[in-house]
């Protein structure tokens, strides 16, 4: 999709930043407002009050407060998120000169992602074509990209019969296919038995046999949240965080004796993400982390036109998610997962890395706002949108 055509007719002095109503929408909205942009959220009916009421922009009632409150100026309410592709919705967005910030929601709520790539006539900040690479069931997936980049990942077992160590089976929930229903086994017999049990109990999707089987690596979980700027050609570490998962986190807070009782009562562990916790890493690990980020950016730059028609590679925020492991007295980073867009972790500003670089802490949403403002002011918007 030609970027010049997408931007044709836009008033670049009156840009609106658009988001889907969820997954870092408020973080993006806050960052956009900080750098002088208007904001619009496309929210699903029944889930709109966060944007129409609680965090909508409005005048403060008392002078002791800030003059303005909130970070979402306008809301377009739809029956389902995929209605974003409807002609009337797109017309509204174009009239507002909208640059859209995509997120995980773009994949989760659109049955055919190619429609987003080909029919969404709104400029997207970031890569329009690389988001699908996150999915493990693609012809070219995140595993392929990580492999090209030479980044260490857990061993993948193509056949369950080959399982010879503890593995995590990355199955999906029955009702919410985008949510995790992972389970851990250490043999083919265990894989078959546990998978069949969870399917029978309605806890994993019936297609669990097609799920990725990955070596279970024990380490300290860390997500490295990066930002690559095509304007400067520099890679930045915006922050580090770890996931908070239910019901795993509640289980880990119990005493050992209580944990045994819970397991005997038939309560299965789940790893459904419910939020993130900001964390830090030792400075001795930072160079290794940056090296992984640089390799990843370089690999994305050199993808074939079939994978990335834009030829632009990474634009803006992305995350390499994994664990720091200790082996023979040395620490290494193993990457489990990739986010090729804004990660769902607005709390990364609570880590010090942007302060070391910019002199003040900066959220991912603020960094996106800064990049857009710089691109607009320097007439370089085509470099950061697809």
The CATH number linked to 261 is 3.30.470.20
343 in the same domain as 229? yes
12 in the same domain as 114? yes
Residues 29-84 pLDDT 10s: 999 999 999 999 999 999 999 999 999 999 988 866 778 899 999 999 999 999 99
Domain contains 130: no
146 in the same domain as 277? yes
Pairing, β 330-339 against β 220-229: unpaired
Whole-angstrom Cα distance, residue 383 to residue 228?
A: 12
Whole-angstrom Cα distance, residue 133 to residue 144?
A: 9
Domain contains 353: yes
Whole-angstrom Cα distance, residue 36 to residue 15?
A: 9
Domain contains 57: yes
Average the pLDDT over 207-236 and give the result.
95
324 in the same domain as 277? yes
Whole-angstrom Cα distance, residue 182 to residue 125?
A: 32
299 in the same domain as 260? yes
229 in the same domain as 352? yes
Using the 3D structure, point to which of 196, 215, 234 is the last residue of a domain. 215
223 in the same domain as 93? no
pLDDT at 176 exceeding the cut of 80: no
Residue partners of 9: CB distance under 8 A and separation at least 6 = 94
Q: DSSP per residue over 284-341, as a string? A: HHHHHHHHHHHHHHHHHHT--TTT-TT-----EEEEEEEEEEEETTEEEEEEEEEESS
Q: What is the mean pLDDT of the chain?
A: 93
169 in the same domain as 147? no
85 in the same domain as 47? yes
Q: Which domain holds residue 160?
A: 156-215
Decide: helix, strand or coil at residue 24.
coil
Count of domains for the chain: 3
User: Residues 228, 290: contact at Cβ < 8 Å?
Assistant: no
pLDDT at 178 exceeding the cut of 80: no
148 in the same domain as 283? yes
319 in the same domain as 199? no
Residues 106-157 pLDDT 10s: 878 888 888 999 999 999 999 999 999 988 778 899 999 999 999 999 999 9
16 in the same domain as 106? yes
């Amino acid at each position: 999709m030609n970027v010049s055509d997408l931007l044709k007719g836009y008033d670049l002095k009156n840009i609106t930043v658009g988001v889907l109503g969820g997954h870092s929408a408020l973080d993006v909205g806050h960052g956009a407002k900080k750098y002088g942009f208007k904001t619009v959220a496309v929210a699903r009916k029944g889930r709109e009050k966060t944007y129409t009421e609680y965090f909508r922009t409005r005048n403060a009632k008392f002078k002791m407060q800030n003059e303005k409150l909130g970070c979402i100026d306008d809301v377009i309410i739809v029956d389902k998120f995929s209605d974003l592709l409807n002609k009337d919705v797109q017309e509204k967005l174009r009239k507002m000169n909208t640059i859209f910030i995509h997120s995980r929601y773009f994949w989760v709520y659109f049955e055919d992602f190619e429609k987003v790539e080909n029919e969404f006539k709104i400029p997207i900040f970031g890569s329009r074509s690389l988001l699908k690479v996150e999915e493990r069931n693609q012809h070219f997936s995140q595993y392929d990209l990580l492999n090209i980049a030479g980044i260490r990942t857990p061993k993948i077992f193509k056949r369950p019969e080959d399982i010879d160590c503890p593995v995590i089976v990355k199955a999906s929930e029955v009702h919410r296919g985008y949510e995790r229903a992972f389970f851990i086994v250490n043999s083919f017999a265990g894989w078959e038995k546990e998978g069949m049990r969870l399917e029978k109990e309605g806890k994993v999707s019936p297609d669990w046999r097609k799920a990725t089987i990955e070596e279970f690596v024990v380490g300290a979980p860390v997500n490295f949240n990066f930002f690559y700027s095509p304007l400067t050609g520099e890679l930045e570490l915006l922050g580090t965080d770890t996931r908070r998962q239910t019901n795993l986190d509640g289980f880990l807070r119990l005493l050992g004796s209580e944990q045994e009782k819970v397991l005997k009562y038939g309560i299965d562990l789940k790893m459904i993400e419910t939020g993130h916790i900001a964390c830090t890493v030792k400075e001795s690990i930072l160079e290794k982390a940056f090296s992984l980020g640089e390799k990843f950016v370089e690999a994305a730059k050199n993808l074939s036109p079939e994978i990335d028609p834009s030829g632009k590679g990474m634009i803006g925020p992305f995350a390499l998610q994994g664990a720091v492991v200790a082996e023979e007295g040395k620490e290494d980073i193993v990457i489990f997962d990739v986010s090729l867009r804004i990660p769902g972790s607005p709390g990364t500003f609570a880590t010090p890395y942007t302060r070391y670089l910019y002199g003040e802490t900066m959220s991912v949403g603020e960094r996106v706002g800064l990049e857009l403002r710089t691109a607009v002011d320097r007439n370089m918007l085509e470099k950061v949108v697809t």
